[in-house]
Structures are given as structure tokens and as C-alpha cells.
Amino acid sequence: MMATINGNICQSNATQMVGPPMPWFGMDIGGTLVKLVYFEPTDSSPDEIDSELETIKRIRHYLKRNAAYGKTGKRDVYLQMDNCCINGRYGTLHFIRFPTSEMSVFIKLAKSKGIAQLASTVCATGGGAFKFEADFKKQVNLELHKFDELDSLIHGIHYIEAYNPQECYYLNDPLNSNKCSKSPYDFSHPYPFLVVNIGSGVSILAVYSPDKYKRVSGSSLGGGTFLGLCSLLTGCETFEDAIQLAANGDSTKVDKLVRDIYGGDYPKFQLSGDIVASRSGRLSFNLLIKFLFIKFLFI
Amino acid sequence: MMATINGNICQSNATQMVGPPMPWFGMDIGGTLVKLVYFEPTDSSPDEIDSELETIKRIRHYLKRNAAYGKTGKRDVYLQMDNCCINGRYGTLHFIRFPTSEMSVFIKLAKSKGIAQLASTVCATGGGAFKFEADFKKQVNLELHKFDELDSLIHGIHYIEAYNPQECYYLNDPLNSNKCSKSPYDFSHPYPFLVVNIGSGVSILAVYSPDKYKRVSGSSLGGGTFLGLCSLLTGCETFEDAIQLAANGDSTKVDKLVRDIYGGDYPKFQLSGDIVASRSGRLSFNLLIKFLFIKFLFI
């Protein structure tokens, strides 16, 4: 088998050991979530499988058998990428995540699965690669090979795009829920382009080539703001719970629309009455109390 | 007395009646607040004062005697502009505001003060000028002369700048609370400039000349979002209450800083550890419950 990505020839040859010793993990330790990616080789020769360490087998079986780990760890099966070529090996990329606040639980789990005896290395990005570096070394004997998160993000976008041409898409008719549909974005001449990376906060990058980019802006209103406010307002704990609550709710009851202010459209600036003028602008503690009181009367 | 503003000569002459009949009011009826501006002439001749209608005297005395009207109306005395020239008349501009949700109370008050008998007109901007137009006509016989709010905003900026050269300023050392100070901004060659107008929502305008501008962008995250979320999270009712609570609080307890993620600075992109990475990113219902529980134990 042979494939080319970004000029590198992917030569799959299980007998020829390439890259660092298995298992291959990558981690992005963000402000809210840890994203763990695990490469499962699918081109191993029978000899290689035989000589595989017991610990590696145990880790692979544990990760693959489950889609949930503990209370908060999840494997996003729908993100899984098959037939990937990395370091000249073919295999499957598995995507796992858990809250950064559970890092100590994760380190204990890794220890109990025997990671400490492998004395291996893990490539790691994100602030947590700095913050938790000493803990990893001390508790599971793991060296974190630190890479910058934004460098890795840009390389990752190019990698994903080369292997999954459907991954980069845009929405047709995004505001029309009946007509809204995905279309693949033609990435053959993308430069320059902007990347808006929404994590706990937001970074905005201008990308000029596969290796040249600049962080041009950012915002502290990001996923952490959304989840923090949702958690305090509704008691939900996860992003999925918040999205589920939102799907069952009616945003026009909390958002102030152009028509709530104008009584209709604001035609001079082509602002339709249905456009949100002020997100959460109708929220009021007094109205909430009145609403709960009325609800209570009708129970 | 003579002054020039935007090419118009302001010739104060109390015996020569210019402009529409008094009283002169202007209103901006926004999504959250109504901003009412009242022009009190200070150049009236004795004859003019004698012939003034009783209703006009009553309105002026009521507005000037108080700085608070009912439960929610306020006159911002610190905004007051003296020696203004409008329509060839000299006088004082008074600034009053109340929540748009109290509009029906305001209309009743205006009726009780005899506005209905004046059959006057009021210049009005904002969405409420459209939404409440029929109510004003029916209940207090007032015609709303509607002007576009963004047109008025741009004219207002030029007017204020011409009369109050200290009004347009910037902050030196804004992040250093000891050194932070105001400096007047030299507005002699301002074009092109951006106006970020934060109301319930946000409009961003590019201004090319006193009469030429474009609404280039906007955001639905604005003052309404801030007040709505504050109200639901703290029970506060007004912007002032929210600001007071914030002044007594410690934002680092709710915001996630770069150092909370990186354990320190993120030097590659010159992001200091003290910078907010994720506004409200530390909020968590579970942490709140734990905090309240611990607080309860120590009561």
C-alpha cells in the first residue's frame, strides 16, 4: 500500500518498524476538555502481533471495547478515522475525551492499566501539557513531548483535509432548517484563510500556507463561557446536556429579537424582525419568579 | 451670543421665536432603556416667560426638581450639558432614562402632567418609536417625529464633540488601575473612524464624514445579554446594581485565566498568565453547591 500526504510517502510495511514504539497516543490538554487520540495499527504482521507487549494489548482492548470510560470519559465513535497513514503505518484513529478537571482520575487509571511500566512518551499540546507535565512524569513515568497547540491545529487541519475531503464543509441556507445542507468545501486553493478555533476561549488565526500562520485575534467569550453560564443557570454538567436542553427549549423566550424592539423589521439596515438583537436580552429574575409562581398555581 | 456648530450659526435671540413650539423633547426608545433628553431654554425674555403655558412650566419644574421619577426613572445629573445651542436657542440639556418595560407607566405620567393638552410633537429614535407610536398618539395626543437611531447617533457624536471637546477621550494605561487616566482625543481629523454602539445589542459603524457612514457589523451579545444574565444569576434589576455587585466581586474566581490552563504564561503568542482565556469559564453548578455547602458549615 502506498499513499502520499503533504509530500510524505506512506509506505506501509509492518515488518519494517517505523516511528516510535507503540502505543501511539496524542493529547490536547485544554482548559475544559482533554482530547486524546489513539492510533490503532491495522497493518501489523502476525510476528509483530505475537511480540506485542501484554500492556499494549490490554490498553487497546480497554479503549476499543468501551465508548465510555468512568463517569465522564467518552469515545466519539462518529469521529473515528479509518485507513489513516501515520509514520508509514496504516491504522485507525480513535478520539476520546474527558474533562480536564478529571485529570487526576485519568492519571490513576493510566497507572492501573500499566502505562507506567512502558516508560513511553506521549505527544501533547494545550496548556495542560505544561501544567500537568510533572504529574505525568512522576506518577506514570510518561514524558510529554510538547508541541504548540496552534501549530498542531494548523497541521491537523491539513492532515484531516488530505485524508477526509468531506471533513471541510460549509452550510447551504444555514438559516432555513428545511433547506439547510452540507456541501464539501473545495480546499484546493484555500490561502489565505481564517481559522476560528473555539475552545474554552477563542483564537482567530490567519493561515497563509501549510507552515505559515498568525494569531490575529481572539475572544475570551468561548465554549467555557457557554458551559460555565449553562451550568450555573441550569445545573447541567456537560456540553451535551446543555445542547440537549437548548434543543428542547425556545430561544425566542430568552432572546430579544429585532421585532421585540421595533415591533417588526428594521428595514433601513436590512435587519429582519426575526433576527436576534440581544442574546438573552429578555432574561429577568423578576419575570422568572412570576413565571415560576404562575406555574406553581397551575400544578 | 453667537456660536457655530457644523456650519450652522447659533444666533440666540429670545424675542425671535425659532424652531417648533416648546417644550422640546427628544427620545430614544431602545430595547432596554428609554433615553429622554429635555432642552430647557435659558435665554427666554421676560415676555416669553410670562406667555409660557402653565403646562410647560409644570413639566419643567417637575423634571428639574427631581433626579428620580417613580421607582425606575432617573435623571443623570452628571451628563447635563449647559450652554447648548439648538435651533438658534441657548439652554441646558437634561438627560433622563427609564426602562422601556415601564413605557405604559411613563405614558400615564405624561398624561397626568397635561402633555395631552399640548398636542405637541416629540422627535423619537429607536425601535420603540415605531412600536409605541400608536400608543403615544392615542393616549397623549403626541406625534412621534421618527428619526433613524443610527443617523441620529452619528449626528449626536458630532454635536457633542463640537460642544464638549472633553467628551471624546481615550484611556492611558487602561490595564493599570494606578496609572490609568483619561486623555481628550483629538477629533480634528477623525475620518474614517469606527463607532461601536453598545445598546441591548451592538452595532458597529464605519464613519467616513459627518453625513456618510455604513453599518459594517454588529453583535447580539450586548448590554441586554449582560443585564439578562446578571439578573438571572444574581437577582439584580438594574445595570447600576450589576456594576456595584461586580465592583465588590473578584472576577478571577469565575473567569478562567491563561495561567489556569497553562500553569503560567503562553509566551509563543505573548499571552500573559493573567489574561482571561475564558470569561465565566470557571463557573460550575457543582462547585457553587460545594461552595454554598462549605459556607453553610461555617455559619
User: H or E element: which one contains A47?
Assistant: helix A46-51
More confident residue, A163 or A158: A158
Write the residue in A236, A278, A288 that is nearest to B200 by C-beta. Answer: A278
- The pLDDT tens digits of the residues spanning B84-115 come to 888 889 999 999 999 998 998 888 888 887 77
| Residue A195 identity (one-letter amino acid) | V
Instruction: Mean pLDDT check: name the lowest of A4-8, A134-138, B10-14.
Output: A4-8
What one-character DSSP code corresponds to residue B251? G
Q: How far apart are the first and last CA of chain B?
A: 67
ipTM above 0.90, yes or no: no
**Size of chain A in residues:** 299
Q: How confident is the model at residue A1 (pLDDT cuts 50, 70, 90)?
A: very low
The CA distance from A170 to the nearest CA of chain B, in Å, is: 21
Q: How confident is the model at residue B160 (pLDDT cuts 50, 70, 90)?
A: confident
Residue A14 — pLDDT band, cuts 50, 70, 90? very low
Catalytic residues of B: 149
What is the distance in angstroms between the Cα of B154 and the nearest Cα belonging to chain A? 15
- Whether B124 and A263 have beta carbons less than 8 Å apart is answered as no
Chain B environment of A256 (Cβ under 8 Å): 31, 200-201, 224
What residue type is B121 in one-letter code? T
- Nearest CB among A31, A215, A280 relative to B261 is that of A31
Of B126, B200, B280, which has the smallest distance from its Cβ to A281's Cβ? B200
What would the grid cell of residue B205 be? 459603524
Cβ-Cβ contacts under 8 Å, B103 against chain A: none
Contact across the interface for A229 and B280, Cβ inside 8 Å: yes
pLDDT at B18: 63
pLDDT tens, position by position, B69-83: 877 889 999 989 898
Cell, residue B199: 445598546
Residue B299: predicted pLDDT: 60
Closest by Cα among B262, B259, B271 to A133: B262
- Are A261 and B128 inside 8 Å of each other by CB? yes
How many pairs of residues across A and B have Cβ atoms under 8 Å apart?
177
pLDDT band at B11 (very low <50, low <70, confident <90, very high): low
Distance between CA B198 and CA B33 in Å, rounded?
12
> What does the alpha-carbon distance between residue A140 and residue A114 come to, in Å, rounded to a whole number?
8
User: Would you say how long chain B is, in residues?
Assistant: 299
Q: Answer yes or no: is pLDDT of A92 > 50.
A: yes
Residue A35: predicted pLDDT? 94
Chain A CB contacts of B228 below 8 Å: 254, 278, 280-284
Mean pLDDT across chain A, nearest whole number?
Answer: 86
Tens of pLDDT, residue by residue over B186-210, are 888 999 999 999 999 999 999 999 9
Give the model confidence (pLDDT) of A222-269 as tens digits.
999 999 999 998 889 888 899 999 999 999 989 999 999 999 999 888
> Which residues lie closer than 8 Å to B28 by C-beta, 6 or more apart?
B34, B35, B124, B125, B126, B149, B152
Q: Burial code of B283-296, b = ≥16 C-beta within 10 A, e = fewer?
A: bbbeeeeeeeeeee
**B282 pLDDT higher than 80:** yes
**Average of pLDDT values for A273-296?**
82
Q: How far is A34 from chain B (nearest CA, A)?
A: 11
What is the grid cell recorded at A242?
446543555
